[in-house]
Structure 1
Amino acid sequence: MEKSRTARNKNKKRNFISIFFLIVLGLSLIFFAYGYNILRGFSRDSIQPKKVKFSDPVNILILGVDAGDYNNKSQNNPKRSDTMLLIRYVPKNDKVFMLSIPRDTRVNINGHAAKINSAHAVGGPKTAIEAVEKLLGIEINYYVRIDYEGFRKCIDAIGGIDVIIPRNMDYDANDIHIHFKKGEKIHLDGKGAEAFVRWRKNNDGSGYEMGDLGRQETQQEFILKIIEKLKTPSGIIRFPLLMNTVSKYIKTNLEPEDILIYALKLKNIDVSKIERKMLQGEPQYIGGVSYFIYNGEKNVEYLKNFRGGISTDKVEIDRSDIKVTVLNAAGESGLASKYKDELIKMGYKIVETGNYPRKINTSMIRDYSLKDYGHIVQRDLNFGNVIKMKENSGESEVVVILGRDSVK
């Protein structure tokens, strides 16, 4: 009798779980249709995405910017990107990679040295995307831009986030007021979440040991909390409200159906297995300005995770049409000849090999073509930063300058 009662209880429990998940699934389908109708009203972005199939890896650049419209160039409306986060999603195994780019990273914008966070202020998302692509030698498929107000609204839309405070936070200035004790478990609404992810130091000067890099790590961890929340039943129920908020406060070149399909893939992602890194480099003063100097050699291995996507809007290229020069800047005897042979086997036409006048650590791929040949060579070699050139290089369309990272 007791065994029979236990079996009935187990069956009831299984039935309850099955019914619960059927309800959640049904609600998800309803919310998908509802969310799509909301997002159909999304204003389309003029920046053309580098589209991929949903089964292919995708790179998405997240831009957290100052409030305002970058077309307004007034002093009180700078629109710099306070946060730049590159995300790689691989549908085949539901792997996710994150890479935070320090806002003080030194880059070249319109021929002038500048901090990468100013790229958005200069030319909006398009210039920010170009700056990241040139710096890292990767291809960005889509971007998502959100300002502080949009961030607050999105966090409120999903019902807030629970966090454990990593250290004492005590700061009051302008629009940020934060007073948290280390180890406290706090439920953050939109306003509290904004203060939490923007905090860098206390009024007494104490703060993250790694400075802004510490803040970026906190931001990455907070994004993991958001993903965890969206996978819960309460997160699913709030999905329509989130989509409504997204349509009002976020700018992107993702299509509405893209947003919904990628959002639904969140359920497959194991948050504990998401890989996270900060861009590697060193702080340095140049001309009295504090910069973060990118170290290509230290980032080579991790950046391989962000390469290899296949764009569906590109036809197969006949590599015999691509004329390449290979120059040795690694100081390793015979290196140019070695890569010449490899590129010939791949089908490329080699114009010339030789030595570069100085040694470099990170390989460069100078693209003089009008057809983005540099990124094709980069994907085949799986290393090197692509630099789009304006002047003519003579017969070669691509010049590969081999740095120390090319030595196997």
Structure 2
Amino acid sequence: MSKSHIKKKRHSPIRTLIFLLLLFILLIGILLGTIYMKLGNIQTKNLDQTQLVTVSQDANMQNYTNYAFFGIDSQTGSMADRGNRSDSIIVVSIHNETKAVKLLSIYRDTFVSINGKYSKINAAYSWGGPELAVSTINRNLDLNIEKYATVNFKILADIVDALGGIEINVKKNVLNDLNRYIKDMNRINGGNSEKISAAGTYTLDGNQAVAYSRIRYTSGGDLARAGRQREVLQKIFEKGKRSPLKLMSVMDKVLPQIKTNMDQSELFSMFLSIMKYDIKDQQGFPWDQKELRYYGAYYGFPTTLEENAIRAHKYLFETSDYQVSEELSKINQKIIWRAGY
């Protein structure tokens, strides 16, 4: 038989497709396995359940999972449970079926009951760690939060840098404070981030973005500050969804800077659902307040705590005409008495 009659052996297209599919599955498995292992680097700190207070009067809350997110203003990078005030406090509420996310910032100067003592809500973390901080949120808003995560400012800078920066529209009235905080973040985190010379839209690097989120002494005060923090977090979330591999590059550096009571499996399950999550809205608590001087310091007094808590349940859980708990009602009356309005 001549060579011209010898038929070349051909591979079946189906066999090739199956091989490529199996290879893809293997690579995805390796990637997910790597991510699962890396999540083990997060600091796990369980809450002392004997110290945790939850309120579950709102039946609609069973359709949601609620989390408390704390950003501590540690000048040394310390993640200690006590001694660090939580200058960023955000309630994250996720609908269990739709994965719709709502954010509710709690202003750091809000006057609340901290286990019977009245002070700014950001003191709770410093006085009693996450147990007291979470319980304080639950008591003053009638919430059932049992999950928390704590970070310091450096982690946000590292994530923003890994993503290649985030786009922010910088207003003229914040320039001086922004540049002062940029200098401060360069000192704390290291680096040489440039100052912003004029108003406009910029791609901010890590230190610049954290500096932007820390601005407080401008028009709007703590309310505007909390809004900038939510803006930075939303920008990070949106860009992270588009560039998950960039986040992979910084996981070893970032994850040890997180403290939470969520275990490795729970965090991995959340990671697998990340593309389903969608931030639908973000607002600040309390919506109505008065800034008043009390024993030598300025506080944000909710007007009233009860009315703001009812609005929080409407916003987060679509609960109409929520009836606050007996304890919240008593706290509300004591705040009114102290404020004198």
Superposed, 1:50-89 pairs within 5 Å as 56-67=63-74, 68-70=78-80, 78-89=83-94
User: Who is 1:109 aligned against?
Assistant: 114
Partner of 2:176: 170
1:199 is displaced (CA, Å) by: 1.5
Question: Matches of 2:150 and 2:162 in 1, distance apart?
Answer: 17
Moved over 6 A (4+): 23-28, 399-403
SS at match of 1:274: strand
Q: Does 1:190 align with 2:199?
A: no
Name the structure 2 match of 1:92.
Answer: 97
Secondary structure of the residue aligned to 2:44 is coil
In the superposition, relative to structure 1, how do residues 95 and 120 fare at CA in structure 2: closer, same or farther (>3 Å)?
same
SS at match of 1:89: strand
Question: How far off its partner does 1:144 sit?
Answer: 0.8
Find the counterpart in structure 2 of residue 225 from structure 1: 235
Aligned partner of 1:175: which letter? D
SS of the residue corresponding to residue 323 of structure 2 reads: coil
1:24 positional shift: 10
Aligned to 1:302: 312
Distance in 2 (CA, whole Å) between partners of 1:291 and 1:385 is 24
State the Cα distance separating 1:45 from its structure 2 match. Answer: 1.2
Q: Which residue of 1 aligns with 2:31?
A: 31
The separation in 1 between residues aligned to 2:214 and 2:24, in whole angstroms, is: 34
What code does the residue aligned with 2:300 have? Answer: F
Whether 2:321 is the aligned partner of 1:285: answer no
In structure 2, give the amino acid aligned to 1:274: D
Unaligned 5+ segments in structure 1 are: 1-22, 73-77, 202-206, 309-378, 389-398, 404-408
Matched AA of 1:160: G
Q: Give 1:306 deviation, angstroms.
A: 4.0
Counterpart contact for 1:34–1:240, Cα < 8 Å: no
- The one-letter code of the counterpart of 1:284 is L
Superposed CA deviations along residues 220-260 of structure 1, whole A, max 9, x for unmatched, are 1111111110111xx21123234333421010111122223
Q: 2:42 corresponds to which residue?
A: 42
Query: Aligned equivalents of 1:401 and 1:236: distance in 2?
Result: 44
Residues 2-24 of structure 1 deviation map (CA, whole Å, 9 limit, x = unaligned): xxxxxxxxxxxxxxxxxxxxx99
Relative to its length, the structure with more helix (as a share) is: 2
Show the counterpart of 2:141.
136
The answer for unaligned runs of 5 or more in structure 2 is 1-22, 53-61, 187-193, 334-341
CA deviation after TM superposition for structure 1 residue 33, in Å: 1.9
1:237 aligns with 2:226: no
Q: Structure 1 counterpart of 2:209, which letter?
A: A
The 8 Å contact of residues 106 and 284 in structure 2, kept in 1 or not, is answered as: no
In structure 1, C-alpha distance between the alignment counterparts of 2:111 and 2:32, rounded to whole Å: 42
**Are positions 1:383 and 2:300 aligned together?**
no
Match in the other structure for 1:259: 267
By relative contact order (CA 8 Å, sep 6+), the higher-ranking structure is: 2
Cα shift at 1:56: 5.0
Q: Structure 1 pair 114/258, CA: closer, same or farther in 2 (3 Å)?
A: same
Q: 1:100 to 1:402 in 2, by over 3 A?
A: closer
Deviation, structure 1 residue 283:
1.6
Aligned to 2:123: 118
Instruction: State the shift of 1:84 in Å.
Output: 0.5
Q: Distance in 1 between matches of 2:146 and 2:41?
A: 22
2:211 maps to a residue whose letter is A
The amino acid across from 1:264 in the alignment is L
Q: Which aligned pairs between 1:268-283 and structure 2 lie closer than 5 A?
A: 268-271=276-279, 273-280=280-287, 281-283=289-291
Distance in 2 between residues matched to 1:32 and 1:61, nearest whole Å: 26
Partners of 1:190 and 1:303 lie apart in 2 by 34
Change (3 A) 1:143 1:71: closer
TM-score of the pair, normalised by structure 1: 0.61
| Gap change, CA 1:47 and 1:185, over 3 Å in 2 | same
Number of matched pairs: 284
Could you tell me how far 1:83 is from its partner in structure 2? 0.6
Question: Are residues 116 and 193 of structure 1, via their aligned partners in 2, closer, same or farther at CA, if it must alter by over 3 Å?
Answer: same
SS in 2 for 1:180: coil
How far apart are residue 159 of structure 1 and its match?
3.0
**AA of the residue aligned to 2:184:** D
| Partner in structure 2 of residue 214 of structure 1 | 224
